[in-house]
Structure 1
Amino acid sequence: MTFEGVGSSPYDNKQKSVNDKYYSNPVINYSLPDPSIIKADDGYFYIYATESMRNLPIHRSRNLVDWSYVGTAFNDSTRPNFESKAGIWAPDINKIGDKYVMYYSMSRWGGEWTCGIGVAVSDYPQGPFEDKGKLFRSNEIKIQNCIDPFYIEDNGHKYLFWGSFRGIYATELTDDGLNLKQGADTVKIAGTAYEGTYIYKKNGYYYMFASTGTCCEGLKSTYTTVVGRSKNLYGPYVDKKGESMLENHHEKFIGKNYSFVGTGHNSEIVTDDNGNEWIFYHAVSKANPHGRVLMMDKVLWKDEWPYIDGGTPSIKDLKPYFKK
């Protein structure tokens, strides 16, 4: 779920690392929920996020730690408008062909039948993005609360996953990713406990990351990142006991600690030059509880299951490594 009622963000300030070897969480200490990340052709990582009723802020970094604000995906004249008085939530950025393609949710609180998912394109990761309009709305496909899109390519096909506490669903897209594939089935993938899904393929498994709990109650938020896995893209996704995410079973991946709560809606996993994998997500900082700040942690693996050290956000850790 994606909404933020916070004041202006200090976009002119770069987040600094602790020293040459370490970084600290949050990596950006103002509200940037629902992150989606891509490494662009120019060598920069770009991260996109929700921010209230604004136009999807974009930041970039060479090293995943020091981020600079570069603009917004839309402006007031180009922003989507298929849902009136709505926010643009939970962007998902991808490179499809020679275009940067961004899926987005458009919704307002309580609008679970009028919300929907749209798509926009750009020649450059920093935009500007040209809105191509909605793919569908909840009332058109008769699935409630159609938000939180996620795109994945698999075995030569392109798919879109989405959903928020009314089931997680998937369908196939056209080759350019800009439309639903005619005649493709819409399949329920996971149950009613989840939103903000992301799927990562590794060593023959598909890992479905998702968020469960409440996202937006400040320090009372119960958001938690969870995971299940499958041998097939469409599932069934199961926990370590073999129980299905269709029945809301999962493994906890990132929970709260004494410094951060509401740990959820993770990004794509990215890899540094040492082969270490990193994931971004948002959380509410007890030291700065206004909004949901940007977090980063290393993904570790044991018995073919992902985890982060201690199961909760790090305070300080070694920085990702990139060759200069």
Structure 2
Amino acid sequence: MKDSFIKYVFPIFCFLLCSCSASKNEYNETKNGTVPDKYYNPVIPVSVPDPTALRASNGYFYLYGTEDIRNLPIYRSKDLVNWEQRGTVFTNKTRPTDVDGASLWAPEIRYINGKYLLLYSLAKWGKPWVSTIGYATADNPEGPFKAKGVIFSSEDVNVENSIDEFLYEEDGKYYMLWGSFYGLYLMELNLTNDLTITPKLETKQQIAGTAFEGVNLWKRNGYYYLFASVGSCCEGAKSTYRMVVGRSKNLAGPYLSKNGGKMMDNAYTVVISKSSAFVGPGHNSILLEDDKGDTWTLYHAFRADRPEEGRVVLLDQVLWGSDGWPYVDKGQPSIKAVCPEINE
């Protein structure tokens, strides 16, 4: 127990001592006559895979991740850089029991109709695999969350490994995107004012091939950008995970790579791949905007020199080229970068 405390709590204490504003004293660099605020990756130095995040009405950003910390951890930050754990989505008593012995993976958070809606993958490895997508609601981003049941299972939609869900809204309609190495799919949902969700099974359609998982979507200047991850996520220093993208003029596709290849044929454009410092970067959050309007993403990766610490959380700015395509500086995770612009 003592070793666990030192391993997990002490790093959190250390990174909470640092802030973007305090970092001015650490650098002699100047830009336009000023000293820019900087941060170091990882911004969460413990294992919180598959992060999802949003900015709540209280001004804080909230992040949720796969249950390497049991029951889905909740983190809070004012600036996207300094994070503190605020508990978990569920407790051992309140966690969903729809699938016996299952784990909770890859949550997805939204604020709809005055409530916080959290979707999650509830799945169990084995023969056969059992995978479902469920949801929970709360009045507060820190909970308590109440599980409301399963939206659908792999059997319901005839898609093996139905996990890694993403919720997208457009013109008052809600859509689920999901899938993990058995195709990415899109389906319309019925979502009532009290946040009861049922799937419109007849609207299911495949939008990408079998190379992908960890899907999310961002619309910009008339294009839908389909972000996903490819490769092996969870093999420590041997992980080949990387964050990729394709785009389309239509929600249902076809999604194309920068070179015109079809994502249905497993073509893609790489956004972030490994570096000498970080391995297996991927499963990024929905893009988040700072107060300047710049876009940022949170994602997980292994430290190359300490992979045993698990999938830590990194932050990077998503830039947009003159051709409209998103990219990250140098195409790799940053070690040190300028902080997001967040007003007090």
TM over 0.5: yes
Is 1:320 paired with 2:340?
yes
In structure 2, which of residues 314, 319, 327 is the aligned counterpart of residue 307 of structure 1? 327
The 1:315–1:112 alpha-carbon spacing in structure 2 relative to 1, beyond 3 Å, is farther
Is 1:214 paired with 2:232?
yes
Higher mean displacement: 291-300 or 107-116 = 107-116
1:190 & 1:274 partners in 2: Cα distance? 33
Deviation of the 1:233 alpha carbon: 1.1
Is 1:254 paired with 2:253?
no
2:63 & 2:306 partners in 1: Cα distance? 21
The answer to whether the 8 A contact 1:92-1:102 is kept is yes
Q: SS of 1:60's equivalent?
A: strand
The 1:86–1:14 alpha-carbon spacing in structure 2 relative to 1, beyond 3 Å, is farther
The 1:105–1:194 alpha-carbon spacing in structure 2 relative to 1, beyond 3 Å, is same
Q: TM-score, normalization: structure 1?
A: 0.94
Partner of 1:96: 112
Is 1:123 paired with 2:139?
yes
Deviation of the 1:268 alpha carbon: 1.0
Q: Which amino acid aligns with 2:174?
A: K
Q: Deviations over 1:144-188 (max 9, x none)?
A: 000001001012210111100000111111133532244641111
Partner of 2:73: 57
Q: Deviations over 1:45-86 (max 9, x none)?
A: 000001237100000111101111101000000001111111
The answer to whether the 8 A contact 1:32-1:50 is kept is yes
Is 1:69 paired with 2:85?
yes
Q: Unaligned stretches of 5+ in structure 2?
A: 25-36
Partner of 1:132: 148
Q: Deviations over 1:235-262 (max 9, x none)?
A: 1110122221011001001000100010
The 1:298–1:95 alpha-carbon spacing in structure 2 relative to 1, beyond 3 Å, is same
Partner of 1:87: 103
The 1:91–1:222 alpha-carbon spacing in structure 2 relative to 1, beyond 3 Å, is same
Deviation of the 1:275 alpha carbon: 1.6
The 1:179–1:111 alpha-carbon spacing in structure 2 relative to 1, beyond 3 Å, is farther
The 1:166–1:297 alpha-carbon spacing in structure 2 relative to 1, beyond 3 Å, is same
The 1:134–1:85 alpha-carbon spacing in structure 2 relative to 1, beyond 3 Å, is same
1:214 & 1:169 partners in 2: Cα distance? 20
Partner of 1:143: 159
The answer to whether the 8 A contact 2:49-2:68 is kept is no
The answer to whether the 8 A contact 1:159-1:173 is kept is yes
Partner of 1:3: none
Is 1:199 paired with 2:217?
yes
2:127 & 2:243 partners in 1: Cα distance? 25
Partner of 2:126: 110
Is 1:162 paired with 2:182?
no
Deviation of the 1:287 alpha carbon: 3.1
The answer to whether the 8 A contact 1:113-1:138 is kept is no
Partner of 1:274: 292
Deviation of the 1:308 alpha carbon: 0.4
Q: Deviations over 1:126-161 (max 9, x none)?
A: 111000011111123221000001001012210111
Larger Rg: 2
Is 1:242 paired with 2:252?
no
1:204 & 1:162 partners in 2: Cα distance? 22
The answer to whether the 8 A contact 2:44-2:314 is kept is yes
The answer to whether the 8 A contact 1:9-1:31 is kept is no
Partner of 1:9: 8
1:259 & 1:112 partners in 2: Cα distance? 37
Q: Give the number of aligned pairs.
A: 319
Q: TM-score, normalization: structure 2?
A: 0.89
Q: SS of 1:153's equivalent?
A: strand
2:147 & 2:315 partners in 1: Cα distance? 30
Partner of 2:311: 292
Partner of 1:38: 54
Deviation of the 1:113 alpha carbon: 4.1
Q: SS of 1:237's equivalent?
A: coil
The 1:111–1:41 alpha-carbon spacing in structure 2 relative to 1, beyond 3 Å, is farther
The answer to whether the 8 A contact 2:154-2:160 is kept is yes
The answer to whether the 8 A contact 1:193-1:248 is kept is yes
Q: Which amino acid aligns with 2:288?
A: V
The answer to whether the 8 A contact 2:157-2:201 is kept is no
Percent identity over the alignment?
47
Q: Which amino acid aligns with 2:185?
A: Y
Is the helix fraction higher in 1 or 2? 2
The answer to whether the 8 A contact 1:113-1:139 is kept is no
The answer to whether the 8 A contact 2:214-2:283 is kept is yes
2:109 & 2:127 partners in 1: Cα distance? 24
1:288 & 1:111 partners in 2: Cα distance? 32
The answer to whether the 8 A contact 1:237-1:245 is kept is yes
The answer to whether the 8 A contact 1:168-1:188 is kept is yes
